[in-house]
Structure 1
């Protein structure tokens, strides 16, 4: 090879290297996002697996996108303090520009205030309190239906069965209490009375539940509306059956949060819930959803040696869709070289005063609000920072399945 040809070859190789580096840099505008989950809970484990698959799926479909989400996962440890510390750490030390989570409404209320202070949008796919309104928490986005969306459907269901009195049974938390306040007005409109409200401690002894059940057995009303998380319901319904209150003459209804979590409940517990009515958002089955569920099960079983079977539910699908919404918004907002404006220097990981303010937070928030696409669970469409209400389906628990009886 002559010196002239060698020179041309070297120039060509240099050109190729520069082109490759240029393409790489175009796809390396990284936007940092935080994930706050209770990693010791079934719902948290499921959500994490769906979120990681969502990132992989999104960029496989949109390989030409200039931006990329970089995720930082933190454990809320299942309580308000843990969730708050995790969010503070993510904002102060990782400079995340959005957070997915936390799971519970009590945790989300506090984290939403932190998001407002730092101009960091907070997505929650499972915090359903109707009092987490964007009117009071402008940087909070509910990528799930809030509990008030089901109120009219519940009232209509009870009216259709001709029941005139209902006793509500809820857990003694913000999640449990907030819905009951919304139910009172809706039931009055259809002339349904609430003669008694039963409140169960979120961490009760069996004797406490049995004492309350004996009190309910002594009352004339035999129609019960149950609003509690899946872990408490697992203990509660076993004791209900053992007390003889699943027999003929009693009727039990579950609200949407519990109805949507039945796939995480042990099969032995479902045996104690036979005949219970449930109400939950309708999910249209599609080829995309069936394909995802098949891949999700494969990934989960291959990645865990001590795998415990549980099904994919609405909250996992909403976690998946939340990532797609954020990834779309990040690209659409044309974010480059994003940074935080630091307010105070501090060595503490959880110093509230040391949180900076995201320079892109407001722009990202506005872009998210206008993002719309066909998600796995439904059409992703936000109305004033909340997922638009959908059709509800009514079902009976029969064996290990849910038999649809109406919409």
Structure 2
């Protein structure tokens, strides 16, 4: 074994000596016979720094082997991720090693100190930091960003979030200038473009300990939203995902998305880190892994990296190695483009470079590399990762060459999410009993019919009621899940309440909150659940009535029906009694009906007593005529009063009348109406007064202190219902937003609340609540003296009983008398038959036959009693 190791070391030494001999043998003469030296500042202890160093060595070897005009040598220094040490390394490379250019470092903190340290040396700096302030080229003219900006990458992250329907995300980033420059404005702006809001922005120090990580992640865990974007170094990401796994934040329902700074190193991750990142979706720079140049670089990189860093388990190169290789090649090609005698000439030559490198297109604009146009989407599963597809500015595609793009990431196939769910997570968690939604409710509405907040001292709790609260409760019942929430009273105006929702002090706001453009800047509203509009309420003015059907109004409908019934009934009584005395009251049925109706209505205008033959009919008719006289006189008096009484109409017809008279108007001091009155409607500010309660409105309108009050349509309906005799709505309705529930911008609950609210509207529940609301407001106005009400049966109850009872008594007496006459007629008929029987006996009939006939007669006429029949001998 020792002999084998010894031989292997001898062979390595031999090949290294051979490499240097060949290098120096093929060395061409540099400019003026002097070789060109470039410097590199690397983070030597990190995977990125190790890959960069190996890639630079390979690039220099390739360039020097191509028999170019320039021979490049590399001098490198380690910064250990410390800006001060990076600045000292830059000074040493420039002053001691006489480098013509510096490559790196990777972070913006180190890059800025290096640029500052080399400011007076005119040495170009090709930075590997993927983000820099827009003012950097003006501050340091020799600074060039040699890697693509993160802006396009952040657009890819935003499109991933959008394609799954998530509207809010938490962002975790390393508290460094480099990470901050990538988040703001790049990620923030990209998310805004697709209507995705950042719920929490969590900066973490590079060397955060476990207790701090646990505390910060606990805070995020209590939040409702479950989408996390991680933009940190690999070292910090290792600790974040390890802690998240312990806290069960890598379970079902969570979404984790990593950026290029983490995802591009997935090939180097150990099993422990991969196991804690199961289900993570990552975005990384895409590069072509084909072509002879890449294959040659790849095979040599594996050998050299494995030999130089045997402690690393994985030897494959990543995007950072390719970027370092292309940076060295860029410098070499710049020296070959022409005579370069100064740092400024070298800088200008670099900025003119244009070629296809291993990492992509190498072309500079305004001292920055052109942004990348394609990124790869991967999914970390099992012991490694799966390549899902690609994203470009055109959308998602499963292949680079197919040219088919889709706006949704779902086109890339099934994604394994944390916890291995088969469907995409919702992206947010439902409120729990322990952590319900906090919903702000205004305490002090213009009318307690919409919102009423009562404090119960016995239970030390608030009770919430009103139309707005009822609508929200019904909406929550129509959700597909049980929503946990609690109402919290709020003292203050409605705009302040909306701002509290924006600042997340409340999760939502419920009440008579009008939807306005200014409030929409802070929150998102649901669909309006009330009628929208601003209306004008004015006092009622009276005018003469000219209603076409006014002649029927003196009596109520019941009064007309009862009068008709009594009239016809009395006519029937007279007809029944008089028909036995007058032949004119007999005949065909139609004639009898006509005669009955004529008797019923003719008696209203004349007595016709001389034509009545029975005292009973005269008695019924006299009483009815007395009652009819009173009813007709009452009808005449009521109709006369209605013809002279005044009708209710608005005192002010439109706002032009108010403006022409320079009259005062009023509005609710808790409403948004003031700005609308002064703006679109054009009222003067000194002509506008605010009021706090309905009673103040009513008092001011009655006294003439204000000519009109401008109220939101729902409030105006209740106000007019309460003061139904004094005020009315006049003029057109001015279109403004109705009442809605307020939620934070991008709330994931809002779409589902809107759907449930539409269900409440469509199934009639909202209509029932509105009708109940209007009916609950009773009119408090007393009927005015000049308003005449219609007469009802209650006004003539005794008279109707009197005439009805008299006519009924007359009819009953007539009936009993008729029955007695009928009985007398039957007795007379009986006596006639007895006489006939006696005559027949005298004519000689036999007794038995006589008895038979008599029996027959008795059978047919039961009223003939057998005791009344005597034998012939008796006769």
> What TM-score do the two structures reach when normalised by structure 1?
0.83
Which residue in the other structure is 1:405 paired with?
A: 389
Specify whether residues 379 and 176 from structure 1 end up closer, same or farther in structure 2 by C-alpha distance, changes over 3 A only.
closer
Using the alignment, how far apart are the partners of 1:196 and 1:375 within structure 2?
38
Structure 1 residues 136, 267: closer, same or farther in 2, change over 3 A? farther
TM-superposed deviation, 1:188: 2.1
1:78 matched to which residue of 2? 81
Q: Is the 8 A contact 1:31 1:330 kept in 2?
A: no
Question: Which secondary structure does the structure 2 equivalent of 1:146 belong to?
Answer: coil
Name the CA distance, whole Å, in 1 between partners of 2:316 and 2:385.
Answer: 12
Q: Could you list the runs of 4 or more consecutive aligned residues of structure 1 that deviate by over 6 angstroms after TM superposition?
A: none
The whole-number CA distance in structure 1 between the counterparts of 2:201 and 2:307 is 45
Deviations along 1:240-290, one digit per CA (max 9) or x if unpaired, are 111111111110111222222222332210111111111122212223212
The CA deviation at 1:379 is 2.0
Change in CA separation of 1:88 and 1:250 when aligned onto 2, cut-off 3 Å: same
Residues 1:283 and 2:287 aligned together = yes
Query: Are 1:116 and 2:119 an aligned pair?
Result: yes
How much has 1:306 moved relative to structure 2?
4.3
SS in 1 for 2:119: helix
CA 1:239–1:305: 2 relative to 1, 3 Å: closer
Name stretches of at least 5 consecutive residues in structure 1 with no aligned partner. 1-20, 339-359
RMSD: 2.0
Distance in 2, matches of 1:264 and 1:136, equals 37
8 Å CA contact retained: 2:30, 2:71: no
Give unmatched runs, 5+ long, in structure 2: 1-24, 392-875
- The alpha-carbon distance between structure 1 residues 155 and 361, as it changes in their structure 2 partners (threshold 3 A), is same
Describe the SS at the equivalent of 1:134. helix
Which residue does 1:300 correspond to in 2? 305
In structure 2, distance between residues paired with 1:384 and 1:306: 41
Q: 1:213 to 1:71 in 2, by over 3 A?
A: same
Q: What residue in structure 2 maps to residue 326 of structure 1?
A: 331
Larger radius of gyration: 2
Deviation (angstroms), 1:307? 4.8
Q: How does 1:2-401 map to 2 (within 5 A)?
A: 25=29, 28-60=33-65, 62-63=66-67, 65-125=68-128, 127-131=129-133, 133-182=136-185, 183-287=187-291, 288-304=293-309, 306-335=311-340, 360-390=342-372, 391-399=374-382, 400-401=384-385
| Aligned counterparts of 1:392 and 1:150: Cα–Cα separation in 2 | 7
Shift of 1:396: 1.2
User: Structure 2 CA distance, aligned partners of 1:24 and 1:283?
Assistant: 33
Equivalent position of 1:16 in the other structure: none
CA deviation profile, 1:146-197 (whole Å, cap 9, x unmatched): 2223232222221111101101111111122222211223322222111211
In the TM superposition, what whole-angstrom CA distance separates every residue of 1:125-154 from its partner, at most 9, and x where no partner exists? 3x1123274344321122211222323222
Partner of 1:352: none
How far, CA to CA, are the matches of 2:261 and 2:311 in structure 1? 27
Q: Aligned partners of 2:235 and 2:28: how far apart in 1?
A: 46
SS of equivalent residue, structure 1 residue 329:
helix
Is contact 1:265–1:310 with CA below 8 Å preserved after alignment? no
| Alpha-carbon distance in 2 for matches of 1:155, 1:111 | 33
Q: In 2, distance between residues paired with 1:156 and 1:304? A: 38
Q: Please give the secondary structure, in 1, of the residue aligned with 2:256.
A: strand
CA distance in structure 1 between the partners assigned to 2:143 and 2:217 by the alignment: 38
2:301/2:316 contact within 8 Å kept: no
CA deviations over 1:67-96 (Å, ceiling 9, x no partner): 211221112122101100000111112221
Q: In structure 2, how many angstroms separate the alpha carbons of the residues matched to 1:116 and 1:136?
A: 9
Query: What is the count of residue pairs matched by the alignment?
Result: 360
Alpha-carbon separation, structure 2, partners of 1:24 and 1:163: 59
Tell whether the 8 Å contact from 1:230 to 1:262 is kept in structure 2 after alignment.
Answer: no
- After superposition, the Cα gap between the structure-2 partners of 1:136 and 1:279, relative to the gap in structure 1 and judged at 3 Å, is farther
Q: Which moved more, 1:130-139 or 1:391-400?
A: 130-139
